[in-house]
Structure 1
Amino acid sequence: MSALIARNADLPLADRLADLAVDALIDEADLSPKPALVDRRGSGAHRDLHLGLMHASALSLWPCFKQMAEAALEHGEVGQPLREALGRIGREGEAAMLATTGGVNTHRGAIWALGLLVAAVALEPESDDAQAIALRAARIALIHDRAVPPSDSHGAQVARRYGARGAREEAQLGFPAVIAHGLPQLARSRAAGAGEQNARLDALLAIMATLADTCVL
């Protein structure tokens, strides 16, 4: 069994993947110090976010991630039915998130990215190769969701204004900022003896140095 999902092996796979997704969101929020982002020091450049809200939002998404994993297990392959099931579940998860946060968008992008990755792992749980998982997620992301309602998010507006890739395009390319920059830097920093927090901060900065993030823009 993949080391990625071996923890609490007595739990159903979908529960374990949902646990990992929520843990990742909480770890990301807690990581400090992060430039201009919510962390243990404060709210950074955000006026409508704080650490407690990020934690509550992350916890509210556990059912969403579980259902996405279950959908991947049920459908068993990359295709239109799985893509549209994930889209429906993601929109329901976003509604639950907004109800928890009082309408503040804390994790819309994370629902998209982590939802794809959770589904990608559930499709082939014996494989823990990060690039293979990312490419499988990309195959799902490339499929058009016919049920998605028309919208013009802040991220989409900024992407048009600056010509930057948004979260959708980053996923469709297989998360290159993570695979080519973030994970290699994380491995290098760990190998050099950096503490885990510093290694993760190194990885974050490696991503930020190469990714034209629409939130930052």
Structure 2
Amino acid sequence: MVGGIIQTARKVQKLVRLMLKLMNARACVEQLSAYATSALIDEAELTPKPGLVDLQSNGAHDDLNVDLMRRSAFALQPTFAEMAEAAYGSKPSIQLRERLAAIGRNGERIMLEATGGVNTHRGAIWALGLLTAAAAMAITECGDPDFLIGFSPPPLLAGFQTGGAEIPTDYPMFRHVERVRCPAGIARIAGVIACFPDRFAPASNTHGRQMQRQFGAAGARREAQQGFPHVLRLGLPALLDARSSGMSETCARLDSLMHMMSHLEDTCLLYRGGMDALHTARQGARNVLSLGGTSVKEGWQALEQLDRDLVAQHASPGGSADLLAAVLFLDRINRWKSAEHETVR
């Protein structure tokens, strides 16, 4: 009799644990997909952005506007939710990589249906999709995170520098509360996933791949496989530093964009205007920063001049915009997990 009661109690406890796990998974999926969607909308609405769609203009685009970008972002929220759900409680594997790729391709179809055939966020689906999946895995701690130990990204950005000085790997964000759940840990997990092949990827000749062949540019794939170095070593530090210095959120985000534009081999720029457009964007962004950034009058004026220069070349730094969305996504998670840690402590 007693044994039967104990056995029943254990079954109830097991059922409760399962229910709690499912509840936590649903909350995680909803939160992360909302963060990804918000990051896309925040990027689109950030104003003014050189050559890009914002609240003031369509930049160098004839077929895009901010309303279309918003519509696309909202349409993609279920895609990000599905990616988070697929990754929750999992570890990186070729099966997961291929599952995420299939979800992403379906997300592209949803995006094109929502926008009438206009490519608004194909690059962002790749970047934010990987990071959303990685965040879902990091939140469940992926069991034992030792799988990260063997991850060695390709030596694409050895000696990566900014402002003439290499950024050390112990930058504050790398010393965050938890080594897996911090932005660096999430980006690294995303890099692990991206390094697996997708055996079912259709043969395609995207603009990015064309620019990789023509100019040897790294492109979005290598950026992800490296663990998003431009996001971690440039964009996010610039955002956090600007914010901590008392800069407005708009200027902090614009400075983050300028830091990434100043170094990124943006394949969107290369496709639209070749090396001339890339040079214009990089030098223009560096000029903004050298004048003190967007929070000072001279830097703001240089930003406006860069916008005019890129529009005149019909060139848009879409790759940098995708990475800015990634910065904003990781920043939201960073603040979410930091607040959670403070509450627990």
- Give the TM bin, normalised by the shorter chain: over 0.9
Q: How does 1:112-191 map to 2 (within 5 A)?
A: 112-125=126-139, 127-191=180-244
Alignment pair present for 1:215 and 2:215: no
Matched, 1:45 2:60: yes
Distance 1:30 1:144 in 2: 34
Task: Map Cα deviations across residues 48-96 of structure 1 (whole Å, 9 max, x no partner).
Answer: 110000000001101100000000026x110011101101100000000
Paired with 1:213 and 1:11, the residues of 2 have a C-alpha distance of: 36
The CA distance in 1 between the partners of 2:98 and 2:265, in whole Å, is 28
Match of 2:75 among 60, 82, 85: 60
- Higher alpha-carbon deviation: 48-57 or 160-169: 160-169
TM-score by length of 2: 0.59
2:117 to 103, 122, 129: 103
Q: Structure 2: how far apart are the matches of 1:98 and 1:10?
A: 29
| Cα offset, 1:128, TM superposition | 3.3
Distance, in Å, in 1 between the alignment partners of 2:212 and 2:43 is: 24
Is residue 25–residue 88 contact of structure 2 (8 Å, CA) maintained in 1?
no
Alignment partner, residue 84 of structure 2: 69
Q: Does 1:21 align with 2:74?
A: no
Q: Show structure 1 runs of 5+ residues with no match.
A: 1-8
Range that drifts further, 10-19 or 39-48: 10-19
d(CA) in 1 for partners of 2:52, 2:135: 28
Q: How many residues align?
A: 208
Q: How far did residue 193 of structure 1 move?
A: 1.1
Cα distance in 1 for partners of 2:88, 2:187 equals 17
Give the SS at the match of 1:216.
helix
Q: Cα offset for 1:109?
A: 0.5
SS of the residue aligned with 1:124?
helix
Show the counterpart of 2:104: 90
1:193-208 alignment runs, 5 A limit: 193-208=246-261
Partner Cα distance (1:88, 1:10) in 2: 21
Relative to total residues, which structure has the larger helix share, 1 or 2?
Answer: 2
| Aligned-residue offset at 1:158 | 1.6
- Alpha-carbon distance between aligned partners in 2 of 1:65 and 1:73, rounded to the nearest angstrom: 12
**Deviation (angstroms), 1:159:** 2.1
Letter in 1 for 2:203: P
The 2-side partners of 1:17 and 1:128 are apart by: 13
CA–CA distance in structure 2, aligned partners of residues 29 and 213 of structure 1: 18
- Please tell me the residue identity of whatever aligns with 1:52: D
The residue type paired with residue 175 of structure 1 is F
TM-score (norm. length: structure 1) = 0.93
Q: Which amino acid aligns with 2:65?
A: H
- RMSD value, Cα: 1.4
The answer to which structure, 1 or 2, has the higher relative contact order (CA under 8 A, 6+ apart) is 2
Work out the CA distance in 2 between the residues paired with 1:104 and 1:148. Answer: 21
1:184-212: per-residue Cα shift (whole Å, max 9, x none)?
Answer: 11121112210011000000000000101
Name whichever of 119-128 and 199-208 sits farther off: 119-128
Shift of 1:161: 1.5
Q: Deviations over 1:100-144 (max 9, x none)?
A: 111111000110000000000101216531111111000000000
What is the CA–CA distance in structure 2 between the aligned matches of 1:101 and 1:209, rounded to whole Å?
30
User: Does structure 1 residue 35 correspond to structure 2 residue 50?
Assistant: yes
Identity %: 51
Give, as a single letter, the amino acid of the residue that structure 2 aligns with 1:166.
G
